[in-house]
Amino acid sequence: MLKRIRRHFKWRMERFYHPNRWHLILDVSLITVIVVLLAVMLGLYLYQPKISLPSWIAPANPQIDLNNPPLVVSIEVEQEAIHLGDILNTEILLKNSGNEVIKDLVLNLKLKDENFTISKIETNFEDDVDGNSSNLKIENNKLMISEMAAGATSSTKIKVYFKSKNRQTNLINWQAESEYYFYRQLFKKIIDLPDIKIASSLRAQASAHYNSPQGDQLGFGPLPPVVGLPTGIWIFLKADASGNFKNFVMSAKLPDNVLFTDNFSLLAGNLNYNKDTRQVVWQINDLTSTNKDYRAGFEVQLIPEASQEGKSALLASNIKFQATDSFSGLKVDENLGSLNTDLENDLINKNNGRVISQ
């Protein structure tokens, strides 16, 4: 090996270096540069110094901690349970914790199953105190912000409306999906939202009858009612629920010239009359969706007064009901108004109840 090197060096001396010394100078210079570069590389490898590159040669897409993305999303839901059709109030809090602008931010509210749909999302731009409302728009249940400056925060209150596709299910499972660009990189994240309970529906009816739907006479006395003469009419109550309810109470107040006759029928619950308050009260402790026979009826006796001549006489007023939904804990209540001798639900005697004189 050494003999070959010597022969090669002797050959280069005779061929290049003796005729022209610049060849020797060039070769020595190149060997020196190579040795220096090897020494620098070895030093960098051994000591590994931290070097800050100028911004103009910095990488276009820096390393980003995926466990701590630049956008912080917090969604606060004000209610744990609602009635179907009511507003669900929600506040969306956003913060750009990065050092660059976030662009094309999309927040999509989605249902996890097909039992419900989001029918509408509304927002009040006056509630946006951070000035991001100009960039915010809502489209197809998506909230979109064109850009969000570094360090910026946003608080937006929205109203969410739901529709049911399956009334056998009373629980809304949903989530939010965020999507945005940061340093020209696309970031996506799923945010789980708390389940929302939907109160079951409860319907109640009150109707007055002189004849039953089958045509049987239930009442007594003249019809149309006659001033000073008693006329007997039956008032029927009915309840029907899509879920389970507790403490169902339905009540009605009788006018001074209408008497409770103590004749009543009862398929469920308890029926009571208070003479002092003139209130008829129907109570059921536990009302379920499987029972369709929640009915009660009672007879009243009307003695029309002279001031009621030519008019329909009042039979019961302030008819209302209330109950507590067992699943959601929400109260359901409604005022059904009043009943008079028009007998709207009596197919035979409808609109035949104006009081006449003797």
* Residue 320 and residue 209 in one domain: yes
Residues 15-32, mean pLDDT to the nearest whole number: 69
pLDDT of 326 reads 94
Contact (CB, 8 A) for 349 and 223: yes
53 within domain boundaries: no
350 within domain boundaries: no
Q: Is the pLDDT of residue 9 over 70?
A: no
* Residue 190 and residue 219 in one domain: no
346 within domain boundaries: no
Rounded to whole angstroms, the Cα distance separating 37 from 78 reads 67
Domain closes at, from 136, 168, 199: 199
* Residue 90 and residue 187 in one domain: yes
CATH number for 188: 2.60.40.10
* Residue 95 and residue 180 in one domain: yes
Rounded to whole angstroms, the Cα distance separating 122 from 87 reads 10
Domain closes at, from 180, 199, 218: 199
* Residue 188 and residue 236 in one domain: no
What are 231-249's pLDDT values in tens digits? Answer: 999 999 999 998 999 999 9
50 within domain boundaries: no
Residues 285-289, mean pLDDT to the nearest whole number: 93
pLDDT of 23 reads 64
* Residue 163 and residue 210 in one domain: no
Residues 6+ away with beta carbon under 8 Å from 339: 206, 207, 208, 235, 252, 314, 315, 316, 319
Residues 131-154, mean pLDDT to the nearest whole number: 79
183 torsion bin: left (phi>0), alpha (psi -120 to 50), beta (else): left
169 within domain boundaries: yes
The rounded mean pLDDT for the chain is 85
What sign does the CA torsion over 98, 104, 105, 111 have? negative
Q: Which of 21-30, 76-85, 140-149, 160-169 has the highest mean pLDDT?
A: 76-85
Rounded to the nearest 10°, the torsion over CA 51, 56, 58, 62 is 140
* Residue 30 and residue 85 in one domain: no
82 within domain boundaries: yes
275 within domain boundaries: yes
- Total domains in the chain come to 3
* Residue 277 and residue 237 in one domain: yes
Domain closes at, from 136, 171, 199: 199
Identify the residue with better confidence: 39 or 223.
223
62 within domain boundaries: no
- What is the span of the domain harbouring residue 3? 1-35
* Residue 160 and residue 215 in one domain: no
Distance of CA 231 to the CA centre of its chain: 52
pLDDT of 165 reads 85
* Residue 279 and residue 191 in one domain: no
Q: How confident is the model at residue 90 (pLDDT cuts 50, 70, 90)?
A: very high
Identify the residue with better confidence: 336 or 9.
336
* Residue 191 and residue 236 in one domain: no
Residues 319-343, mean pLDDT to the nearest whole number: 95
* Residue 148 and residue 260 in one domain: no
Q: Is the pLDDT of residue 264 over 80?
A: yes
Residues 293-312, mean pLDDT to the nearest whole number: 94
